[in-house]
Amino acid sequence: MTERSSSKRYHCRFCQSPLRFTFVDLGMSPLCESYVSAEQLNQMEPFYPLHVYVCEQCLLVQLLEYVSPEHIFGGEYAYFSSYSDSWLQHAKAYTEMAIARFGLNHTSQVVEIASNDGYLLQYFVERQIPVLGVEPAINVAAVAVKKGVPTVVKFLGKDTARDLAGEGKQADLLLGNNVLAHVPEINDFVGGLKILLKPRGVITMEFPHLLRLVQGNQFDTIYHEHFSYLSFLAVEKIFSAHGLILFDVEEIPTHGGSLRIYARHHEDDSRPVEHRVAALHAQEARAGMDRLAFYSSFAETVKETKRKLLDFLIRVKQQGKTIVGYGAPGKGNTLLNYCGVRTDFLDYVVDRSTYKQGKFLPGTHIPIFPPEEIQATKPDYVLILPWNLKQEIMSQLAYIREWGGRFVVPIPEVEVAE
Ligand SMILES: [Zn+2]
């Protein structure tokens, strides 16, 4: 573990302690959703540090705010949640669970933070339950409004929460999926949740679980949009500092292993703390997440993974074989930039998103083609970049076996699928 010599400038976004310990340093990387057009190929491209620290006081793992969220999420944003069928199913199942468990009806108010294109709130609308979306990306919010999901174009913080509460929009159910990790001002955000929640209301938040990231070596899920990498332990401290108690938690399979937490006001004694809270504490403690030493070994594992991937790619190229990539997700871009994998190894990648086709991956400038290119060029190996979807992709592309093609998965470490 390296100790920073000039620690004065960097402080923990939660407890303000100086950040001195590195969790992992992935070097310089472009914003992972900044796909490059043909005209931009000869222009300068901004790269920002992907250096992740762990706070020795509160053990929050965090990326400094190298890039502002307004720059990443505000204005136009390319990610529309409704493009993913499995994510829609997840949202629908959540809606049914929440309505049943919390007895929501036409007199309730549901508020979702980072509601995207209304992918989730639409299912509450179908059941005549009043909703409000809070979404900073104007183009994405416009799609939600068109679907009949009322949406305000805002980032959530204490100011926005006070305004909404003043308009009578305090929530019985306040939810946010994959937003807690994305906010640099985490105290202002959680403080805003406290203000926006009715006295007996419930908050649910989903975020990738840091324990799964470490155990599964998922370092490619680190990118500039993800400001914090969250353990239950750290989230509990942050919520508690804002007068909110976590009374339940579930482990769910999304994004390589996530947590769904349930929170209420400290003063609300109507919901007892469930036994799953203690069980998750115990699980994190057994793994050692309550001690700084847990966080120190990750960086070396990541370096070793890079060496093994490069070793594999070099051997394959020396045999005169061809490799292409499947998928152009954010996580692929972290992996390829960190490992320095360009068209010297991967001829191209394919992606089903027509938005990405014809463009180039940020930083590595690998061209993105439609999936049919694989059938046309018959590569020897297909490297699956969204490894969390490998089963789905391997069955979609089963035809590559006709010419002896093989699948390769890079995470947790490089492996040729049998
Ligand atoms: Zn801290």
- The residue among 69, 41, 36, 53 whose CA lies nearest residue 1 is 53
Contacts of 319 (CB under 8 A, 6+ apart): none
Band of residue 2 on the pLDDT scale cut at 50, 70, 90:
very low
Distance 354 CA to ligand 1 centre (A): 41
Distance 416 CA to ligand 1 centre (A): 40
Contacts of 303 (CB under 8 A, 6+ apart): none
- Residue 114's region, left for phi above 0, alpha for psi from -120 to 50, else beta, is left
Q: Does position 266 have pLDDT exceeding 60, yes or no?
A: yes
Q: What is the pTM of this model?
A: 0.92
For residue 54, what are the β-bridge partners? 21, 61
- The residue among 303, 306, 356, 363 whose CA lies nearest residue 326 is 356
The span from the CA of 1 to the CA of 292, in Å, is 10
Q: Does position 317 have pLDDT exceeding 60, yes or no?
A: yes
Q: Does position 237 have pLDDT exceeding 50, yes or no?
A: yes
User: CB burial class (10 A; 0-12, 13-18, 19+) of residue 209?
Assistant: buried
> Could you read off the pLDDT of 144-156 as tens digits, one per residue?
999 999 999 999 9
Distance 15 CA to ligand 1 centre (A): 4
Distance 143 CA to ligand 1 centre (A): 38
Distance 260 CA to ligand 1 centre (A): 22
Distance 292 CA to ligand 1 centre (A): 12
Distance 50 CA to ligand 1 centre (A): 19
Distance 24 CA to ligand 1 centre (A): 17
Contacts of 160 (CB under 8 A, 6+ apart): 134, 154, 192
Distance 209 CA to ligand 1 centre (A): 18
Distance 49 CA to ligand 1 centre (A): 20
Distance 28 CA to ligand 1 centre (A): 24
Q: Give the angle subtended at the CA of 179 by the CAs of 8 and 195, to the nearest 5°.
A: 85
Distance 19 CA to ligand 1 centre (A): 8
* % of the chain with per-residue pLDDT over 70: 95
> Could you read off the pLDDT of 115-146 as tens digits, one per residue?
999 999 999 999 999 999 999 988 899 999 99
Distance 16 CA to ligand 1 centre (A): 6
Residue 43 DSSP symbol: S
Distance 268 CA to ligand 1 centre (A): 27
Distance 14 CA to ligand 1 centre (A): 5
Q: How far apart are the first and last CA of the chain?
A: 37
Distance 217 CA to ligand 1 centre (A): 23
Q: Does position 1 have pLDDT exceeding 60, yes or no?
A: no
Distance 363 CA to ligand 1 centre (A): 32
Distance 245 CA to ligand 1 centre (A): 19
